[in-house]
Amino acid sequence: MEDNISKIKDKLDIVDVISGYLKLAKSGINYKARCPFHNEKTPSFFISPERQIWHCFGCAKGGDMFEFIQEIEGVEFREALQTLAQRAGVKLEYSSDLPRDDKTVLYEICETAARFFEKQLYQSNVGKRALEYLKDRGLNEETMKEFRLGFAPSEWESLAVFLRDCGYKEDKIIDAGLAIKRDGANGIYDRFRSRIIFPISDLNGQVIGFTGRVFGGDEKEAKYINTPQTAIYDKSRILYGLNKAKTEIRREDKCIMVEGNMDALMSYQAGVKNVVATSGTALTPSHLRIIQRYTPNLGFCFDTDQAGAMATRRGIGLALADGLNVKVVEIGDKECKDPADYVRKYGSSWLDIVSKAKPVIEFYFDKAKTGFNPNSAESKKTVIAILAPFVKRLTSQVERSHWITQLAFFLRAKEDAIEADINAAKDDLEIYNNQNQPAPKVEIVTASSPSDILSETLLSLIMKNPDLFKNELKNISSDWLDEYTAEAIAKLMEIDPNNLGEFLKEFREKDQSYKLEFAYLRSQELWKDFEDEDLKLQFAGLIKKTEERYLKNKLENIELDMKATNEKDKKMTLVAEANKILSRLGEVQKI
């Protein structure tokens, strides 16, 4: 494995790899770009060709080219390795006696379980009943086989026993999310029992989890259950069906998003294959990021009930905040509550319905026209509240005035009154603007920034000119720093600054992290134009923040100790200690 990685790194340059995804600008010996992992206006994402690493000063992400591919493509290391090997023209060599890592075992368990469930659907008695039920819902066997539907028997341990017989340990079966440990007793039992099983795959088509729909057992149980978060299944990043749909999404330059697994399957079967389902989890900004890799055009078709309407509005808010072009697919038959119902009833005319998806503003306006009485004052307010956020977001003046005219006509009001109302209306979609991790301001650290950034900034200053801080560093107590930073600083003091590159390499190999490299990049970029005097000022400020952080931590600990004790003497001692710290904190903050 190591060998594969170094072969690829020898052949590829990180700048070339990243420039395939981002627009880069030169910044001294480095390159910069707007970070693709958090929203920002000015670039704080840097690439060092010298060190072959990237790092964002804003969201603190970073790593080598493999980590970049993993992050931007949302894939596991193995797929990043394949992607880059292909680019580099390196043939991957695997040695067979390599110990299997934990994730590999989990993939194997999920695959074995998927086969077990599939077999049950076609061979067991209850399974066959489930199969009939699915056919009755409109699914054909071809689709079921393509998506590997299965059935989990009602016994408490049938899968667990099977997997154990295949040689998997109980704790691994639990880690894969397939079994639960018995309370206060030995052994495990199956998570999925008496359920129709929908395997969930990653982008490579490897099974990583399951959704189970109750069937034939206790109907009081939750209708749907899912694999919990595991080392290979992150529900906030997985969209059901995407592995099958991704090619079609690119080709059509459009993605249709539905709520349930059955909706996705029925849509696929009816010929709309660019479809994914959120499948039991709320839509997240990560989901949308993943879709954006394939297309900027998204069509929602959620259930027609009230919950579906709310989920749609929320999805639209998130998608608009992420800059996607959003449309809504309207089912339009009151007897069909979701796409699955529609396809079952009308078959391939689903294609027409999807092609007639409406821009959100049109969708809500049409709804208003049929759902509200334009003569009631209350309705007028509601209609404006629903539509204003969309009208406000229109950048084209022509479109804007078109909709204002339409609204004025419908509500029988003057256009300028409508416009004033729109401008004054509350924007209920605004709350979604910040859900994609608000961009931390990139500047010299504040006291509230995460510890890591504080340490990174401190190290970056020292690297800029170690000699400059030799004396100051004597005044720093090692208690103020985490072990890593303290060790790194001690080492930095010993080395010849000309050998920094070699030192960084050794340090990375030893502790397997990029922390020092990141600090070095920060040092090159952030302190580029600083004179020694300015550096000293920055350093003093940083040390103050470091001590402040240390004192505040200590106070918190004392508070916890106070809560934990009833002894009067001990309490007094703690109070005295706290007072000392408080007075020191006061001094520090005055500096």
Chosen residue from 30, 34, 37, 241 binding Zn ion by CB under 5 A: 37
Interface with Zn ion includes 339 (CB under 5 A)?
Answer: no
**18 vs 130, which CB is nearer to Zn ion?**
18
Applying CB under 5 A, the span of 37-45, 294-302, 525-533, 544-552 interacting with Zn ion comes to: 37-45
Binning the chain into helix, strand and coil, the percentages to the nearest 5 are 55, 10, 35
Q: Which residues contact 460 (CB under 8 A, 6 or more apart)?
A: 519, 520, 522, 523, 526, 527
Token readout for 405 is 């005219």
Positions in 17-36 near Zn ion (CB under 5 A): 35
**58 vs 466, which CB is nearer to Zn ion?**
58
Closest approach of Zn ion to the CB of residue 588, in Å = 31
Closest approach of Zn ion to the CB of residue 58, in Å = 4
Which secondary-structure segment (H or E) carries 26?
strand 25-27
CA proximity to 232, closest of 67, 79, 117, 81: 79
Closest approach of Zn ion to the CB of residue 55, in Å = 9
CA distance 151 to 192: 9
Closest approach of Zn ion to the CB of residue 282, in Å = 24
Closest approach of Zn ion to the CB of residue 280, in Å = 30
Q: What is the CA radius of gyration of the chain?
A: 29
Closest approach of Zn ion to the CB of residue 293, in Å = 17
CA distance 114 to 118: 6
**36 vs 150, which CB is nearer to Zn ion?**
36
Closest approach of Zn ion to the CB of residue 290, in Å = 17
**39 vs 226, which CB is nearer to Zn ion?**
39
Spell out the alpha helix ranges (H) of 21-140.
65-73, 77-88, 102-123, 125-136
**71 vs 157, which CB is nearer to Zn ion?**
71
DSSP 217: S
Asked whether 331 and 350 are in contact (CB, 8 A), the reply is no
Asked whether 378 and 346 are in contact (CB, 8 A), the reply is no
**59 vs 270, which CB is nearer to Zn ion?**
59
Asked whether 384 and 407 are in contact (CB, 8 A), the reply is yes
CA distance 342 to 363: 19
DSSP 274: S
Asked whether 197 and 147 are in contact (CB, 8 A), the reply is no
Provide the mask over 54-73, with x wherever binding to Zn ion is found by CB under 5 A and - wherever it is not.
--x-xx--------------
**38 vs 273, which CB is nearer to Zn ion?**
38
Label residue 394 exposed, middle or buried (CB < 10 Å: 0-12, 13-18, 19+). Answer: middle
Closest approach of Zn ion to the CB of residue 118, in Å = 42
**277 vs 453, which CB is nearer to Zn ion?**
453
Closest approach of Zn ion to the CB of residue 529, in Å = 22
523 residue type, one letter: S
**59 vs 276, which CB is nearer to Zn ion?**
59
Closest approach of Zn ion to the CB of residue 56, in Å = 3
Closest approach of Zn ion to the CB of residue 67, in Å = 13
Asked whether 314 and 432 are in contact (CB, 8 A), the reply is yes
Chosen residue from 34, 38, 287, 522 binding Zn ion by CB under 5 A: 38
**163 vs 442, which CB is nearer to Zn ion?**
442
Label residue 531 exposed, middle or buried (CB < 10 Å: 0-12, 13-18, 19+). Answer: exposed
Which secondary-structure segment (H or E) carries 589?
helix 568-590
Asked whether 321 and 436 are in contact (CB, 8 A), the reply is yes
**297 vs 449, which CB is nearer to Zn ion?**
449
Q: Given the rule CB under 5 A, which residues bind Zn ion? A: 35, 37-38, 56, 58-59
